[in-house]
Structure 1
Amino acid sequence: MDTFILALKNIWSNKMRTILTMLGIIIGVTAVIVIVGLGNGMTQSVRDSFSAMGINSMSVSIWGRGSSRNASVDYMYQVVQDNPLYLQDISPYVQVSGGQTVKEGRDTYRYTGVYGVNEDYTSMANYTIADGRGLQYMDIKENRYVCVIGDYLSREAFNGNAIGQDIKVGPYRFQIVGVLAAKGNDPELQEGGEDDRIYVPYTVAMKINQQSTVDTYTVIMADENYANQAKAAVEQALYAIYEDEDAYYVYSMSELLAQMNQTISMVVMVLTLIAGISLLVGGIGIMNIMLVSVSERTREIGIRKAMGARERTILFQFVVEAGTTSALGGVIGILLGYALSAAATAAVPLIMPGESVAITPGSSAVLVSFGISVGIGVIFGYLPARRAARLNPIEALRYE
């Protein structure tokens, strides 16, 4: 404790020099805190986005590769029924071709997505029917020109009174039978988002696109922990039809999420290593200032050794002083890092409306940053401390 108090007194007696010495440590720790917080925020944001789409979902794309055999809708339904342990539900997913413009009266909605699905899709996609009803089996079977629309389109085009109204998709007129509850977090519900969509029977969408088979499906897994088994079950069923692995492609949202998280982690790691250069520079600065301190206090060291101080006592004194200097820089860097993280969290929605990323460093990043800052001080302070401990007391007393 006496050594620590002495270290604080020596630091306080040279405040400006100490602050300049700690600057590298402060910048390095601040950068690490903000970068790790940004990585955590981006990871959570991506996970939230995927949760909205359904992490337990898979997408199946079928090209066929010129095969005379095709996987029919009934065949794909049977695949799900035959694998209840891994697969829970399925829906065709037919995007109406982009040339079909959505209109209501004289207003055109260029960014509204129009998709053909079955009666189960809205619940599969975690939508809630806010008004009216969802698509039904008979709508699909009888090719009825009915639709369910998102909350954004309901408010913008019909002032919230969409049930029973008609909306045009290209030359085709659809009767609105249901309105979905708002799904997006943004109160403005920007156009082109999840709440700016129209869902029609997939049989009608196929007719508009003039296609005879469904080439895209959305599948819900029974348990996302068995994503590999669920994917394998679908792939085996498709291989039995086409006997060609290039005729289809199956990927799960959990698989895509894992790839995204891996990419984010890699970027954060590279940026953290770059920020670590500042910590290295800070350590060199501490070594430099401690060498200067040893030169300035040579006579003091000689007096202490002449009075019986051992080498290890002198060594410990200067190592503690270097570690304390670095630790103070680490604490300041952590506080500054949290302040910048909070400021950045508040600034993101202003820079990118509709987006929000909570930049949260986490306790592990704080502990690691503090530990590294102290460790750098001790490591880079050891050489000057060793030099001080090995001074000849007679020569030290003669030093001017």
Structure 2
Amino acid sequence: MNLRSLLIVLGVFGLIFLMFIFTIVSRYIIKLVSRFPTFNFVSLKLGLRSIERNHWTVATALLAIAIGLGSVGGVLTTGEGLKDFVADAFSSFADYDIQINGIPDSKISDMEERLLLMEEVKTVYKTTDEFSGFNLNIDKVNGKPISRYISDFTEEKRIKAEERCINVNLGGRNIEFNPLNPVTFKTVGGRLLGKEDIGKNNIIVSTQCVDTFGFGVGDTITFRYNDYYFDMKIVGVYAPSFQGGGPPSSNLGIITSIETQDRIRRSSSNKEFNILEVNGVKLSDYAKLLPEDQSKLIPILSKTSVNIVGLDVEVEYFGPYGSEEIIISKRLAESFRLKIGDSITLEENEYMKTFVIQDIREGPFNKESDIIIPYSALKGTFPDIYTYTLSVIAKEGQAPALSKKTKAMFSPEYYVFESSEVLSIVNRLIDQVVIPISLLASFSLFVAIIVISNTMYLSIIDRKREIGIMKAIGASNFTVLKNLAIENLAIGVVGGILSLVILYFAFFGLSLILQIEGTPISPLILGGIFFLSLVVSVIASIIPAYNTSKIRPLSVLRYE
């Protein structure tokens, strides 16, 4: 038997033991309830005395009610708690009502102005389309190569670190308009990112990252993005409020400002272009001028990857004053028989421009590209090189109207996304899990009805003489029904209270497992559980109570 099977067996025995303890405790609770003041209500006094007389049987009925209602309520409450938690967590990192995705750099300012003119809009702020992050590699830690840095780790930890230092995700955050929520991002060391970090090479990392690499506040991490390197300083360590990391995060929960993230992606990125002309000659005609073995390669090489460089990297290649020239690889130069000073016309999405070759170098560039182009040379002609997302916050109560107006203005050219759509999808997924489990748990309520009915029949057998005498001295059928109803309502009240206690502990346990903190139990669910306890008790007692009220006194006394 493996450890998991053993734990399951122990869990089952533990549950049986808890049910036994609950039954014992219920017995004493019943005795305590039976001593409550009756305020001279004869029916109440008779009902409580009957409960006390059949305390073991009633304790079993209470166990059935408490298990059934407690489990159903626990599942429903946890489902509602998950919905509330997801809504809070989502709002902590996505503080917007609507997002418009895929906006070209050339149109972003115009669209911001158009949105701000809408009366329903409160705030508009920009993020990159890489909002969730892009991948980097960890190259050095405090100037020490990562291979040397992790060489002193235990073998298990070193293997884990080697796997995780590749394709590390760097998330971006708009600190100015959407600051980090200290509830979702609990500071363990240092501080969270603030406005003073906008545009700077500062990052925060999760405790998961610290556990993997042993990083600390003040450490400097050198990342490699494509073929380029840059340093980032850790200013804080945070503990995510939910397993998996606080969004937007990464596999290691590394986050910087959106401005820094945008600067990094603008330093170097690859994009495919089509070569249309060489020295003013269409490519199909130019291929005829080449030897047959080279002309066969032209259709293959006509679609080429271009490394677009910007900011410091652009200055490094082309100088500080901008350039309309390009650098090509030796492979491309030899395939097309190109030399410095020749021209190439590039096309992307029906936009085209001619560039002059400034230099020929060993390639490929940035792993796969045969051409390096400065971003400044593309900016005016190719609008879709870099795209952005606009996040829009509506004025109170204006989100639905803003959504309709925004979709009418910008769809289908741009994708308009509502944050409520995410919550709606998540809520449906949670319901798809919670409802079937609740239905399965509700079968225990059927067991509770059977147990309570059995309790009633046993009680009637013991009280036949008492009921016969009551009817012989003038008690009506309604009086007998009333006494039995009060008795079962008392069982329902006690069962409902015990169900709420079990519900609280069940929810508390699941909250610890799922790390949901501070989510209140819905008063609607609490009231529903208590009311359902009364309903179950009444339904279970209807048939035996009705049959009992029809007992003929003479038949009972003759039997006695």
TM-score range, shorter chain: 0.7 to 0.9
Say whether the 8 Å CA contact 2:99–2:390 is kept in structure 1.
yes
Say whether the 8 Å CA contact 2:175–2:195 is kept in structure 1.
no
Q: Find the partner of 1:90 among 115, 118, 125.
A: 125
2: CA distance, partners of 1:338 / 1:101: 46
Does 203-212 or 50-59 show the bigger shift? 203-212
2: CA distance, partners of 1:220 / 1:169: 30
* Partner secondary structure for residue 231 of structure 1: helix
* Cα offsets for 1:188-246 (capped at 9, x unmatched): 9888369512443536514522354334414131336322333334433434xxxxx3x
Query: Which aligned pairs between 1:296-311 and structure 2 lie closer than 5 A?
Result: 296-311=462-477
* Cα offsets for 1:328-373 (capped at 9, x unmatched): 222222222222322333344xxxxxx4345643333222212111
* Partner secondary structure for residue 392 of structure 2: strand
Say whether the 8 Å CA contact 2:101–2:129 is kept in structure 1.
no
Number of the residue aligned with 1:285: 451
Say whether the 8 Å CA contact 2:99–2:416 is kept in structure 1.
yes
Say whether the 8 Å CA contact 2:136–2:166 is kept in structure 1.
no
* Partner secondary structure for residue 92 of structure 2: helix
Query: Which aligned pairs between 1:123-138 and structure 2 lie closer than 5 A?
Result: 123-127=176-180, 129-130=193-194, 132-135=196-199
Amino acid of the structure 1 residue aligned with 2:476: R
Q: Find the partner of 1:331 among 488, 497, 511.
A: 497
Say whether the 8 Å CA contact 1:133–1:179 is kept in structure 2.
no
* Cα offsets for 1:265-285 (capped at 9, x unmatched): 564444334333322321232
Does 222-231 or 146-155 show the bigger shift? 146-155
* Cα offsets for 1:121-154 (capped at 9, x unmatched): 222231464485412xxxxxxxxxx644235599
Number of the residue aligned with 1:205: 265
1: CA distance, partners of 2:201 / 2:434: 44
Amino acid of the structure 2 residue aligned with 1:388: T
Amino acid of the structure 2 residue aligned with 1:345: S
**RMSD over equivalenced CA pairs, Å:** 3.7
1: CA distance, partners of 2:238 / 2:439: 42
Number of the residue aligned with 2:386: 214
2: CA distance, partners of 1:368 / 1:326: 13
Q: Find the partner of 1:227 among 399, 404, 424.
A: 399
Number of residues paired by the alignment? 369
**Larger RCO: 1 or 2 (CA < 8 Å, sep 6+):** 1
Q: Find the partner of 2:229 among 154, 173, 183.
A: 173
Number of the residue aligned with 2:426: 260
Number of the residue aligned with 2:478: 312
Number of the residue aligned with 1:196: 254
1: CA distance, partners of 2:61 / 2:264: 71
Number of the residue aligned with 1:3: 43
* Partner secondary structure for residue 268 of structure 2: helix
- After superposition, the Cα gap between the structure-2 partners of 1:266 and 1:6, relative to the gap in structure 1 and judged at 3 Å, is farther
2: CA distance, partners of 1:84 / 1:102: 46
TM-score by length of 1: 0.77
Structure showing greater radius of gyration is 2
Q: Percent identity among equivalent residues?
A: 20
- After superposition, the Cα gap between the structure-2 partners of 1:157 and 1:31, relative to the gap in structure 1 and judged at 3 Å, is closer
Number of the residue aligned with 1:376: 536
Number of the residue aligned with 1:143: none
Does 390-399 or 360-369 show the bigger shift? 360-369
* TM-superposed deviation, 1:79: 3.2
* TM-superposed deviation, 1:390: 1.3
2: CA distance, partners of 1:72 / 1:88: 18
- After superposition, the Cα gap between the structure-2 partners of 1:2 and 1:268, relative to the gap in structure 1 and judged at 3 Å, is farther
- After superposition, the Cα gap between the structure-2 partners of 1:277 and 1:7, relative to the gap in structure 1 and judged at 3 Å, is same
Amino acid of the structure 2 residue aligned with 1:208: S
Alignment partner of 1:149 is 2:321: no
2: CA distance, partners of 1:103 / 1:39: 43
* TM-superposed deviation, 1:254: 3.0
TM-score by length of 2: 0.57
* Partner secondary structure for residue 395 of structure 1: helix
Amino acid of the structure 1 residue aligned with 2:423: L
Say whether the 8 Å CA contact 2:64–2:444 is kept in structure 1.
yes
Amino acid of the structure 1 residue aligned with 2:169: G
* Partner secondary structure for residue 95 of structure 1: coil
More helix by share: 1
- After superposition, the Cα gap between the structure-2 partners of 1:147 and 1:76, relative to the gap in structure 1 and judged at 3 Å, is farther
* TM-superposed deviation, 1:288: 2.7
Amino acid of the structure 1 residue aligned with 2:218: N
* TM-superposed deviation, 1:71: 7.1
2: CA distance, partners of 1:372 / 1:88: 47
Amino acid of the structure 2 residue aligned with 1:173: Y
Stretches of structure 1 that go unaligned for 5 or more consecutive residues are: 64-68, 136-145, 240-244, 349-354
1: CA distance, partners of 2:179 / 2:526: 37
Number of the residue aligned with 1:29: 69
Say whether the 8 Å CA contact 2:206–2:240 is kept in structure 1.
no
* TM-superposed deviation, 1:28: 1.0
Stretches of structure 2 that go unaligned for 5 or more consecutive residues are: 1-40, 147-163, 181-191, 272-383
More strand by share: 2
Alignment partner of 1:104 is 2:137: no
* TM-superposed deviation, 1:50: 0.9
